[in-house]
Amino acid sequence: MKRCGSMMMIETGESRGLRIALYISTVLLLFAAPAFDIAVLTQRSLQPFNIPALWMAVAVISLGALAALLLLMRKAPERAVRTLAASIILSAFFAGWAVPRLNPYIGYRDMCRSAMSMSKAHGNAQIVAAGIKHAANTDAFLGYSPKEVVADSIARLHGVVVMMPAKDAAGAMLSDKQDVGPMVIGYRE
């Protein structure tokens, strides 16, 4: 097989910096699984990421990095790069299985569905967004951009459905509260 570019430079010893970069990236990826384990198990805010598919994804990355590191030590950098690439692709495949369970945390669809059903239950009440980043992007699911308000002004609103982060909802006095991922949907009478 004809070799070209960076791999040829590594094998001929022309690029010490490239070899060092490969070692560093491999060692960093080797610690992906332990870092993920520690983060998910110790941080309450990361509990939604405690999904078997994500555990598999980081395990594949770490095992691929371990294999690549062993190949680098045996002076087989080309095989090491291929092993890393394959483990990253396989890891992305496993991580893709986690997306349906992470949708409430990474998108607005579920939140908007809850808000629409609550709005209909309360006579097509207006939907407002408080403290939601890029709230205008909910127009794809609601059909219109909700009115954006600051959390402090919710007390002055009446007869609206409020979408807001759960951490800010304590003093909002919302009825019919529904938790949707990290957000809360509620009706302000």
Instruction: Quote the number of domains for the chain.
Output: 2
Contact 122, 153 (CB under 8 A): no
Residue 97 and residue 80 in one domain: yes
* Contact status, residue 128 vs residue 111, Cβ threshold 8 Å: no
pLDDT 10s digits, 54-73? 899 999 999 999 999 999 88
Rounded-to-integer distance, Cα 42 and Cα 28, Å: 20
Question: So what's the pLDDT on residue 6?
Answer: 55
The pTM is what?
A: 0.62
Furthest-apart CA pair in the chain: how many Å?
74
Rounded distance between C-alpha atoms, residue 109 and residue 103, angstroms: 8
* CB contact set of 122 (below 8 Å; sequence gap of 6+): 159, 161, 187
Q: Which stretch of DSSP H or E encloses residue 187?
A: strand 183-188
My answer on whether 95 and 34 are in the same domain is yes
What φ, ψ does residue 186 adopt, rounded to 5°? -155, 165
Q: Which residue range(s) make up the domain with 179?
A: 107-188
Q: What is the rounded distance in angstroms from the CA atom of residue 80 to the CA atom of residue 57?
A: 19
10 Cβ neighbours under 8 A, 6+ residues apart? 18, 19, 22, 77, 78
pLDDT in tens, 64-105: 999 999 998 898 888 988 999 999 999 999 999 988 888 777
Q: Examine the domain organization and report whether 119 and 98 are in the same domain.
A: no
Closest to 168 (Cα-Cα) out of 143, 120, 132:
132
| Residue at which a domain ends, from 102, 119, 143 | 102
Q: Is residue 154 part of a domain?
A: yes
Do 130 and 158 belong to one domain? Answer: yes
Q: pLDDT at position 7, please?
A: 55
Domain endpoint, select from 63, 86, 102? 102
